[in-house]
Structure formats: structure tokens, C-alpha cells
Structure 1
Amino acid sequence: MKILDIFITDDYLKVNYTQFFFECFLRNKIDHKKSLAHVGNGEVIFQLYKETPGLWNKLESEIIEDKNAMNLKRREAIEKAQKEAEEDKKQNEETRRKNEKYALKKIMKHEEEEKERIQKIKDQERQKAMAELQKWKEEQQKLAEKAKHKIIKEQKVIKETALKKEKLTTQKKKTDLLATFTLRPVGNIDVNFTPRVFPTPFRESQAHEEEEWLRKQAEARRISEVFDEDLNEEEKNPDLLQNKGNNFFNAGNYPAAINVYSHAIKLNNNIPALYSNRAACHLKMRNFMKCIKDCSTALDLLHPCVPQNATSRCRALVRRGTAFCEMELYVEGLQDYDAALKLDPNNKQLQKDAENIRNMIQGTS
């Protein structure tokens, strides 16, 4: 392969191509960075730009008659070219460093803007969640007040009914006494007491709350009559549906379990376990607001508070407290964990979790 060597400085030209060699010592200086050399068709055409405009009488310098001067000019041209090459290299390196620095600044600025954008989105989502939570708290407070008024009204009606009944009984006794002219014979009356459902002694229990809880349990377990030819007997029974949902949950199929629990709730919306179990599925799927709502509904249905439903209330409180903590609402979560500890004070894991939440609130974890 033949190599063409063209060398140009401000006052020297050289072309070397196999057996051909051409050099020219210029009379005056040119701008060699602008000058060009065109190669083609067996010839080289130079396009030279004068450093200083003007008319040249001759192209070549007078030193062509002096070999020593020519050799000196060649060395000077080579040294000058090497020096310019080094300066160009330094300048290119400096330009490259400046470009890299500029690119790095651009990347850092872009990353900072992206970080701010993501933080803004997170703040908006947190504000939205807080607004939904506040709205839900207000709704729960209204429902609680409404339920409280309803209970007070029912207790008032029961009390009035009992007073009327007692009054009628007293009046009937007086009437029977006046209508009786003979003394009744003396005798013994055998009294049989039915066993109490709750283990707590009667003098230490809350009889009204316990009876209310038994009544609610009986109503909740009453199977609704569903007239739908497309449903089989299992799909009409909330208890069977609850067992089916539990199997899905244990298998890790949380969406299927939610569908089964939701269908059971449509048949009977008074069973607390359905809401509590569905809340556990929502917690697994990180649907924290839905988990909080289902736990709160379960806790509402678990009233009045009696020993028989303490375990269920503790479970619902822990699940709701966990959902609060996952949303970084640690104060609300700690309140639920403390309430659960009151129901199960010897639970070591509950004690440990509550202490961890308290440390996070205090900034020590």
C-alpha cells in the first residue's frame, strides 16, 4: 500500500509519495491551518492562504541556494509542527475536560430535578392520603356519634318499656290480691338457674353488654335467604364462604380471597371476621386505606367489648396499626398497638413492635 505524506507549515511545504518527493521553502508566511491540499488524478493541488495580504514576486525563498539554511528550516518546521501538535493536544484535552465537566453538571442538575420531582409526587401522595384519612376519621366520628345516640335512644325505650311493664305487673298483683278472698296455701317453689355463658361471675360482669353481644352473634350467624338459581349452597352460606376465603389466603391467593370475603359480606354484613380477614388480604397487597377501613368496620361490629371477642379485637387493632405504620402515620399506629397490648399484655412480640414504633416516633431508631 502506497502512503502519501503531506507536510505544511507557515513557510514550508513537503510532499513524499514513494519515489516522488517535493518540497518548497516559501518566500513569506501562510496560514497553514486554513490552507488545504487536494490529491487526485496523479497530482497534488495546494490552496494556500497568505498570512499577510500582498503580492509575492516569487513563491520560493532565497535560501534554496543554501543547503545549511534549508536543513535548518526543515528542522525548525518539524520542531514547530511538533510544538503546535502538543499545544493542540493540550487544548483538545482541556476542551475535553471542560466538556466532561459541563456534561457532569448537566447530569447532576437532571438528577436533582428528577429527585425533586419524585419528592414532590411523594409529598402529593402523602397529602392525599392524609386528606383521605382525615375524611375517613370524620366519617367514623359521625357514625360513632350516630350509633351512640341510637344506643341511648334504645336504652331509653327499653327502660320506659320495663317501667310500664313493672307498673302493669304491680297493678295486676294489687287487683289479684283484692279479688282473692281466701288465703293461698303455703308451699315451696323450686327455682332452677340456667348456666351462664360467660365465665365471669355475675357480680363482676357487665350483664347488659354480654347479653347484647350474644344477641348480635346470634343475628350475625343467621344465614340470609338468597333466592338465586345461579348460586350453589356453598355460595349462599357466609360461614362456608369464610372458610373458602381462608383457604385462598393460606395459599397466598389474596385477590381470590378478597373476592370471596366480599361476596360473603354482601350476604351478611354483620360478621366481624369477614372484614378482619379481608383487611389481612389488603395488608398483604399494600392496600393500606382499604385495610384501615375494614379493620375499623370489624371493630365497630365487635361491640360491646366482652372477653369473648377480645382476641378478635386485638387482631383487628394490630392489622390497622400496621397499616398506619406502613403509611408512616406512626402516632396512629402506636395508639392501636397500645390498645392491643391492653387486651393481650403478655404478648412479647406486641411489646417489641410497640417499642420499635415508639422509638421511630422519638427518632431513636
Structure 2
Amino acid sequence: MPLQVSDYSWQQTKTAVFLSLPLKGVCVRDTDVFCTENYLKDKEMMQRIREKSILQAQERAKEATEAKAAAKREDQKYALSVMMKIEEEERKKIEDMKENERIKATKELEAWKEYQRKAEEQKKIQKEEKLCQRDKQIKEERKKLKYKTSTRNSASRNLAPKGRSSENIFTEKLKEDSIPAPRSVGSIKINFTPRVFPTALRESQVAEEEEWLHKQAEARRAMNTDIPELCDLKEEEKNPEWLKDKGNKLFATENYLAAINAYNLAIRLNNKMPLLYLNRAACHLKLKNLHKAIEDSSKALELLMPPVIDNANARMKAHVRRGTAFCQLELYVEGLQDYEAALKIDPSNKIVQIDAEKIRNVIQGTELKS
């Protein structure tokens, strides 16, 4: 209960009042000094003034609490705005990185397309040059044939006797020349060269098939065994085919980094084997090295030229893997082009058909990106 203290002293300045209250036997920690604006003398008046003062003190405490809560809300609001600003900056930074990656991939794709276009133009120019040379040879042969014919006709006219026209003599000469000699009795042995590709001649591309076989033979002969750090390898480790099989086994056990190392060593020994680049592209896809997967798939497609039946399956896989890498980089138009190229090679492949349809839906905005 409140105590009325009469023995006290005080000092006053212009800005403050200092009170000294002797409270014997009371702990300072438990003391609550309550000051009012009025002097308390009468008991009833003192009770009313005390109640009024208590209400005023409660209102001031309530206002202080509300002010503190409002300040806390303002602090939380400011902290939230700062956090949102930081998240917005991070999101913008990530979008800028994605945009830079997309621009980089687009430039690489454009450069690759330009390289392919120049290669096609070079091949076209070489074919045209070959055709021109062939036409020249045909014209020269025709000129020689005309010259021989005219020489023969003039000789026959000069040797024709009187009373007989040169035309009749030439006709008789042709008839004599057209009569074949009697056939000789005997047997002719015919040997057929076995075809490597089991396709009909009217459906096959003989020139492209021969070029592909020549490239395969060159790839088997190409061996870079003069590299100093490869001299300490075992004999089987110097065989690209053995390394390729080892990489395939490591890929099957999901040890993609070790598989890449095996393919890297095989490529150093022989950089003309397209399956090495194709298998390494699959490893890069698993490890999300998307640009490297695109690069290896493009290199495999370059080595798989000319397109023949023997390398059709490998070319389809290269297009699918490069298209998958493009889609994971959110370059869906380029990815769809590769999937459509794969469908041209194998139109009956249901999985590629379904994936190509999903990419079309993503481009049209009817399906979510995955």
C-alpha cells in the first residue's frame, strides 16, 4: 500500500526537481515512487486524486506500449522491404546470368550454323567443279568422235569407184562392220564384290557409303601414340576401343567423371571416332555440363558425315542429346530443331515424338517448363 512520507527534502532547477525520500527498511529494488500533480491532503480528495493519477499513469503506459509496438512494426516493415530489395537484386542477377548464357549459347549456335553453311557451300562448289570438268571431257570426246566420223566419211568418198555413190559404199561398210564375229565356245566366270551395306543399289548412296567407309578406315588407323605422357600406359590402355568400352561400363555404374576421363584419353589417342564424342556428351548431360554436351554432340555429327544407314542411329542420338541440352538451357526452338532432325532419321520413335510434342507445347505456352 502507498505510504505518505513527510520527512523529505527537495531541490529545484529550471528544468528538473530532485526529491530525497528516506525509506528505512525498504529495498530500493522494491520501491515504486508515484508522483502526482496535486498535493494530497484530504483523504477523500486524496483517494480521488490517486485514482485519477493512476488512470493517467495507465493511459501513459498504454500510449508508450502502443508507440513501442508501432515502432516495432515500422522496424519489421523496413527490414522486410530491405530483404525484398536484396531478393530482387539476387533474382535480377540470376536472370542476367541466364540471359548471358542464352546469348552465349545462341552465338555459339550461330557460329556453328555459319560453319555448316560454309562447309555446304564448299561441297556444292566442289561438286559444280567436278560437273564442269565432266562436261568438258564429254565435249572433248564428242569433238574427237565427230572428227573421226568426218575423216572416215571423207576417206570413203575418195575410195568410192565410178558409177557407185559414196553413200552406198558407206552404208555397205556399216553393214559389214555391224555383222558380229562367230561366238567362241567357252565359259565366263563372274565374281561379285560383296556389298557392305545391305540396301538395294537404287536406294543406296554408293559415293557417300564409300566415303563413310574410307573415313572409318582412317579413324581406325589414326593413333597418337607419340604423346610423351602416354608412353607409360599399358598396351590395352593405348587402345581407344578398350577405353571406349571401359567408359561405357563406368557410365553404366553412374561414375560419370571417371567415364569422361576414359573418353578423354581415348580422344587424345584417336580424335576421329564419333562415338567417343557422342558418349562423352551423354556424361556431360548427366553432370549438367550443357555447353560441353552441345559441343561434343556437334563434333560427333561432324564426324558422322556423310549420312548413311550405318551411322543413322548414332546421328539420331547426337541430335537428341544436343536438343536435350538446348532445352535445359531454355533454348526450346533450337532444341525442337534437333528433335525434328532426329525424327527425320527415325520417324517411328515414339519417345522422340512425345518429347518433341512437349517442346512444341512449351514454345506455344500450353505446357509448363520442366
Query: Structure 2 length normalisation: TM-score?
Result: 0.72
Task: Assess if the C-alpha contact under 8 Å between 1:321 and 1:337 holds in 2.
Answer: yes
User: Do structure 1's residue 343 and structure 2's residue 359 form an aligned pair?
Assistant: no
Name the residue aligned to 2:286: 284
> What's the Cα RMSD here?
3.8
For the residue of structure 1 that corresponds to 2:306, the secondary structure is coil
- Which aligned pairs between 1:141-152 and structure 2 lie closer than 5 A? 141-148=113-120, 150-152=122-124
SS at structure 1 position matched to 2:84: helix
For residue 88 of structure 1, give the secondary structure of its aligned residue in structure 2. Answer: helix
Does residue 313 of structure 2 align to residue 314 of structure 1?
A: no
Name the counterpart of 2:195: 196
Partner of 2:67: 95
Q: 1:80 aligns with which of 20, 37, 52?
A: 52
2:178 aligned with 1:205: no
CA displacement 1:76-124 (0-9 Å, x = unmatched): 21x2343134313422332233223213322331232123212221222
Deviations 1:139-161 (A, max 9, x none): 32343244335545665787759
Q: Which has the higher contact order (CA 8 A, sep 6+)?
A: 2
* Helix, strand or coil at the partner of 2:5: strand
CA 1:338 to 1:145, structure 2 compared with 1: closer, same or farther past 3 Å?
closer
Residue 229 of structure 1: CA displacement?
2.9
User: Does 1:22 find its partner at 2:5?
Assistant: yes
Q: What residue number does 2:105 align with?
A: 133
2:256 is matched with 254
Matched-pair contact (CA < 8 Å) for 1:36–1:46: no
CA distance in structure 2 between the aligned counterparts of 1:232 and 1:161, rounded to whole angstroms: 52
Q: CA deviation at 1:50?
A: 11
The secondary structure found in structure 2 opposite 1:204 is coil
Structure 1 segment 215-364 matched on structure 2, within 5 A: 215-222=214-221, 224=223, 226-227=225-226, 228-364=230-366
Q: Corresponding residue for 1:112? A: 84
Whether the 8 Å contact between 1:34 and 1:49 is mirrored in structure 2 is no
Distance 1:70 1:241 in 2: 107
Residues 84 and 204 of structure 1, relative CA distance in 2, 3 Å threshold? same
Provide, for residues 53-90 of structure 1, a one-character-per-residue CA deviation record: whole Å limited to 9, x for no partner: xxxxxxx96x74xxxx224313421x234313431342
CA contact (8 A) 2:278 2:297 kept: yes
CA 1:223–1:134 in 2, change beyond 3 Å: closer, same or farther? same
For the 8 Å contact 1:324–1:333, the answer to whether it is kept is yes
How many residue pairs were aligned? 314
**Percent of aligned positions that are identical:** 43
Summarize deviations over 1:161-194 as a string: whole Å, max 9, x none.
9998xx99xx9xxxxxxxxxxx998465432111
Identify if the C-alpha distance between structure 1 residues 38 and 24 changes in structure 2 by more than 3 Å, giving closer, same or farther: closer
Q: Using a 3 Å threshold, how does the CA distance of structure 1 residues 89 and 345 change in structure 2: closer, same or farther?
A: farther
Which residue identity does 1:109 align to in structure 2?
A: S
Q: Residue type matched to 1:296 in 2?
A: S
Unaligned 5+ segments in structure 2 are 10-15, 145-180
CA distance in 2, matches of 1:268, 1:342: 30
Residue 322 of structure 1 contacts residue 333 of structure 1 at CA under 8 Å; is this kept in 2? Answer: yes
Paired AA for residue 195 in structure 2: R
What TM-score comes out, normalization by structure 1 length? Answer: 0.73
**Partner SS for 1:337:** helix
Q: Is the 8 A contact 1:36 1:47 kept in 2?
A: no
Question: Which structure shows the bigger proportion of residues in strand conformation?
Answer: 1
Aligned match of 2:96: 124
Deviation at 1:126, TM superposition (A): 2.0
One-letter amino acid of the structure 2 residue matched with residue 111 of structure 1: M
Deviation at 1:24, TM superposition (A): 8.4
- How far apart are 1:237 and its partner, in Å? 1.1
Q: Residue 209 of structure 1: SS of its match in structure 2?
A: helix
Paired with 1:34 and 1:351, the residues of 2 have a C-alpha distance of: 91
Note the residue ranges of structure 1 that are not aligned, 5 or more in a row.
Answer: 6-13, 16-20, 27-32, 52-59, 172-182
Q: SS of the counterpart of 1:203?
A: coil
Alignment partner of 1:270: what SS? coil
Q: Is the Cα contact below 8 Å between 2:8 and 2:19 reproduced in 1? A: no
